Amino acid sequence: MRACLSCALTVALAVVLATLPACTRATPREAEPEPGVPVIVEPVRLGMIRSTISATGIIGTLPGAEFSVVAHEAARIFEITRNVGDAVKSGEVLVRFEFPSLRAQQAVNSAAVKAADLRLRQARLAQERIRSLLASGAASRREMEDADGEAALAEGEVAVAKAAMRASESLGQNTTIRAPFNGTVTERLHNPGDLVGPGDTDPILRLIDPKQVQLTATVPADDITRFAIGATARAVAEGKAIAELLRVVSRPAPEAGATTVTITLAFDTPTDVAPGTQVGVEIDGEQRSNVPLVPAVAVLKDAGKAPEVVVAVGNIAQRRAVVTGLEDSQYVEIRSGLKAGELIITQGHSNLRDGTPISVSSP
């Protein structure tokens, strides 16, 4: 009996020892899934979008809305009262001149008038003396005619001298130039002390009426039906931080075969941008409301292929062709291919293929 019990214990011990290695062997671990490509998503939203037509324009003035200060003859600038950008009221002094030859000419003309007046007085005295002598028979008719002729000649000389004086005085009035209308100084080309030549070739100041300024722009003929007269627009000149508002006032139909059309726009408020300045223009076109919109950066465009977006379906990327509509600087209208609320990948989507695992985060 003891022998059997001993044998049984030995067999049990052997079984236990045999099973120990199996119990201590490590259990194999399951393979971890590959991490998804990190992306940023944004939902398709319903909203309003307006297209814009880009163009380049030139600022110009209406007839009579620009004035240049010039000298009527060679002169020295004595004073300039305004700088670029200054507002000016009608009648205010802009420039004063000194004409080097004017004083001398006025002195000559004044002396000529005095000499002619003296000669006329002497001629009239002689005329009266001869007339009295003729009445008493002490002078002949011929002497009377000569005296009358001398007086008439002296009167003519006085008239000529006074006309010359008036001409010099008129020129003297041009020593002070005043603003002909309310406006803004757009250019200052000289300083006090400068010598300037006569006429339009050497202007000193330029003044415009900011209420009489317009913008002329050229747009593609294919875009002319995308906006109407009265459409709003924005123009930005170089160096200006804020866009100026305008409205379309002229939009002619394109001529047969024309590729561009010239339109005109009026400023909503007076501008101080100088005529001749080239500016960029954005004209507001068609508008649609309550349509699906996606960020412009989300739309992938390859030549010869329909536009695509990459949709986040759970943790998987799905490339999808779409039909686009209006576009502005930020958003694109989706005519078909997407529904509001779907998540569109906006960053990290350019090289994603269908079925690529992704790790989604919101902006």
The answer on pLDDT for 130 being more than 50 is yes
The answer on pLDDT for 148 being more than 90 is no
What average pLDDT does the chain have? 84
How sure is the predictor about 176, in pLDDT bands with cuts at 50, 70 and 90?
A: confident
State pLDDT tens for residues 74-98.
888 989 999 998 999 999 999 998 8
Over pLDDT 70: what percentage of the chain? 86
Burial environment of residue 207 by CB neighbours within 10 A (0 to 12, 13 to 18, 19 or more): buried
40-64: average pLDDT: 91
Q: Where are the domains of the chain?
A: 37-48+289-361, 54-62+210-288, 71-97+175-208, 100-174
Q: Report the candidate in 243, 274, 301, 237 with the shortest Cα–Cα distance to residue 52.
A: 243
pLDDT number for residue 30:
55
pLDDT number for residue 76:
87
Over pLDDT 90: what percentage of the chain? 42
pLDDT number for residue 247:
95
- Homologous superfamily of 54-62+210-288: Efflux pump adaptor protein, beta barrel domain (2.40.30.170)
Lowest-pLDDT choice from 15-24, 199-208, 281-290, 305-314: 15-24
State pLDDT tens for residues 248-274.
999 999 988 899 999 999 998 888 777
pLDDT number for residue 270:
81
- CATH class held by domain 37-48+289-361: mainly beta
The answer on pLDDT for 10 being more than 60 is no
CA 205 to mean position of chain CA atoms: 21
The answer on pLDDT for 136 being more than 90 is no
pLDDT number for residue 172:
52
Fold type of domain 71-97+175-208: OB fold (Dihydrolipoamide Acetyltransferase, E2P) (2.40.50)
85: left (phi over 0), alpha (psi -120 to 50) or beta: left
Q: How far is residue 315's CA from residue 318's CA, in Å, rounded to a whole number?
A: 10
Quick one: tokens of 236? 């930005």
The answer on pLDDT for 62 being more than 80 is yes
The CATH number corresponding to 100-174 among 1.10.3210, 3.40.140, 1.20.1300, 1.10.287 equals 1.10.287
